[in-house]
Structure 1
Amino acid sequence: MILVIADDFSGAAEMAGMAFRQGMRARVSTRRAHRMREGLLAMDTRTRMASSSRACQAIHALFQGIDLDCVPWIFKKVDSVLRGHVRLEIESILSLTGLQRALLIPANPSKGRVIVDGYYHIQGEPLHETFFARDPHYPRQSSSMMDLMGREGSYPVHLIEEPKHLNKEGILIPSIEHMSQVVNWANQVADSCLMAGGVDFFEALLKAKGSKPESCSANLSPTNDLPNQLFVCGSPGALAAGRLNWCHQNGIPVHECSSTWLASSDMAPPRTWVEDAIGHLQKTGQCLVTTSAEPLNHVMNGKTAASRLVQIVRHIMAGIQVDQVFVEGGETALELADAMGWHDFRVTRASSEGIPELEHHSNHLPTFIPKPGSYPWSDEWLVER
C-alpha cells in the first residue's frame, strides 16, 4: 500500500485521482488509516487550518495506526504554494520514520508553477505578485523558497540543483522549470528519502515506479445521461481566477450568496435562495452556488463561509436529487463531507488531470468531485444538454 498524507481534503483526493489514472485502486479517508493490501490510501489530516501543535499531534496520531512494514513508500502532499504547516509536517514524518532527508518538489510546471533560482513563479509572475498574496489565511508575501519554508526548524533546508546533492540531510528543494526535470528527479530519488510535493512530482513517481495507466479510467461518460450537477465554489482563489465567467461561458446558472447573510447570525439560508437554486437544477440540470465575490475575510473567516455554503447545499439536496456535487476548496469539501457523514471514499473515475469522482461508503448518490480551488474545472466534466 502506498500512503499519501495530505493536509486538506482536495489535496488527498487529487493524489488518489492521479493514482487511479495510473491504474491503481485508490481510496480517500478523513478519519483513520485503513489496512489495504495493495493500491493507495490518501489520508486527509485536516491540518491546513489547524494550529502548529494540532498539526504535529495529527501526524503523530496517524502514524500510531500504520504498520510501516506494509508501506513501501510514503508521499507527503503539500500545497503547491506551501500554505499550511509544510516544514513542520515534513519534519514530523522524518522523525517518526527515521528518514534523514526529504525531496520536496511543490512546483507544478504543467500548470505554470515553477521554481527558478530559489524563487517561486506562477505563469511567469513572482508568487507574491499573484492573487496568492491576498490569501485570507496564508498570504504569500514573498517568492523566496527559504522565506516560504520558514527560517527555523529541526532539519536544515537546502536549495539544490543536481541529483548528486541528494546525499545531503534535511529538506532538499530543487529548481524546477520543466516537467522533464520533475521526471529526472523522480527517477533519481531512492525510497530511503521521503518524497513530498505536488501532483506533477507524484505522477512522475508513479510512472518511475512502474505503474501503468488503464484506458478505462479516462472514461468520464456519466452513467446517468443527464445528471443533475451542483457546483460549489468556496475558494476565493477560484473566484479571483474567473470562475463566474467560466460558468457564464458554459451556460451554468450562478447562485451567489450575499455577504450580508454570510456575516449574519442566522445559519438558515433564505428560502427563496434555495428555491431559486432548485429551480435552476430542474430547468438546466446545472447550478453553481458560491459566496459573494467580494473578499470574505472582511466580513468573516473562511471556515464560517464554508459552513454557510454547506447549509445551502444540504437544503438544495433535500429538495431535489443531485447526482454529482463538484466542490472546489479543501475546507468547503471537508465541511460538506463531515455534514453528510462521509468519511471514507473510493475513486470510481478520474479526469485526465487526475481530479477524481468519489463514491462514499454508502454507495448512494451523489458522487463527490473535489478539487483545489486554484485549478480550473476541466470541460471533461460538463455534460452537453
Structure 2
Amino acid sequence: MGSERALCDFLGINCTIFLDIPAYVQQKKAKQRRLKSSSEGVTLNKIDSEDLDLPLFKVIVVAKATNNFCNDNKLGEGGFGPVYKGMLDDGQAIAAKRLSENSSQGLNEFKNEVSCIAKLQHRNLVTLLGCCIEKGERILIYEYMPNKSLDFFIFDEQTSKSLGWSKRYNIINGIARGLLYLHQDSRLRVIHRDLKASNILLDYEMNPKISDFGLARSFRGSQTEENTKRVVGTYGYMSPEYAIDGIFSIKSDVYSFGVLLLEIVTGKKNRLFSHPDHSLNLIGHVWMSYKEESLLGLIDEVILESSNTIEVFRVIQIGLLCVQEYPKDRPSMSEVVVMLSSTMHLPHPKQPGFFTARKQQMADYSWRNSIITSCNQQTITTVSPRD
C-alpha cells in the first residue's frame, strides 16, 4: 500500500483502488500549505511567474518520458541529482536532471540555472528545453547529448583512441567560442565558474556544448568581477585568486579553459596527474617541459600520429597563457579565439598559478574555511581536497 500511495502522490492522480480518498486529500492539502508557506514555495512561484520564455513541463509528462525515472534510463548522477534519458511523445530525446532531496545543490542553484541559461542561445551551449516545478519537483529538461561528456573520451585509454587531433581541435575551438559568447556576446556577461571536462557535452557530431550553469553568475553593464565568501567550483580548475580570495571574473573562466586545453592535449587530469620524478600537478609538469623545450613528450600518444605538431605546440602555449598566475596577464577569450584561428606570434607565458608541489598547494588552501562544491558529485571538493 505504501508504494502505491507514494506513486499516486508523485503523479498527482486519484488512485481510488489504493488510497483512502479523504486521507489522501488531507495529505495533499497539508503538503501544498507547507510548500506555499515555505521560502522554497515562494521561489518556485516566482520562477513560474517570471517571463523566461521557457516551457513548463508537467510531472506526468516527464515521468512518462523517462519510464517513471527508471534506473535503466539513468545517465549519471551529480551533486544536483540524477540525470535520466527520456523520449517525449513527439520523438524528441531529452535528458532530465532531477534535483534530489539530499542534493548538495539547492533551489538557488536550480533557479540560477533556469534564469541564466534560458536567456542564452549558442551552438556551443547546451539547450535547456524547459523545466518542471510541479508538485514540489525541480527538474531541468535538456536536449539529449548522445556522446556523453568530454572526460569520458580524453581520460579513458580505450575511448580516447576515437578522438584524434582534428576532433580535439574542433572541440577546443567550440569551447572557446562558447565562452566568448558568455563573456562578451550574450545579453548578459556570464561567468561559468565550473568549467571542466565533465561539463563539456558532445552531440551526435562530437561538437562541444558547455553545460551545467547552476553555479554561473551573470553581470550587467561593465562589471567584470566580483568577490564571494562562498567559493564554488572544482579544485584543479579554479584560478588562484578565486580559490584563495574568492575573487571571480571572466579571467577565472579563462584559467579553467587553460587547464582544459592542457588536459585535452595530454589526456591527463590536472589534479590526478603523477610523475615519478616530481610531485607537480599537470600544470607544473607542462610548465617545466615548456621551459626545457621538451613539449613532445607531453602530447597524448593517441593524437601524435594524426596531429600537426606545430599546431599542438601552439595550443599548449595558449593553455599556459591562460593559466598564468595573475589575471591581468591572461588573455581574454576574444584574444584566445584569434590565437586559435591564426598563426599570429604568441607571447611567452609567465609562471602559472598552482604549479608548485601539491603539499605546498594544499597548504595555501588550508587557511580558508569555505566549502568548495561542484555540480558534479564525482568532483565535489572541500577545504581538504581528496587525491
- Interval of TM-score (by shorter of Structure 1 and Structure 2): under 0.3
User: Which is greater in Rg?
Assistant: 2
Structure with greater strand percent = 1
With the length of structure 1 as denominator, give the TM-score of the two structures.
0.26
When you count helix as a share of all residues, which structure comes out higher? 2
TM-score, normalised on structure 2? Answer: 0.26
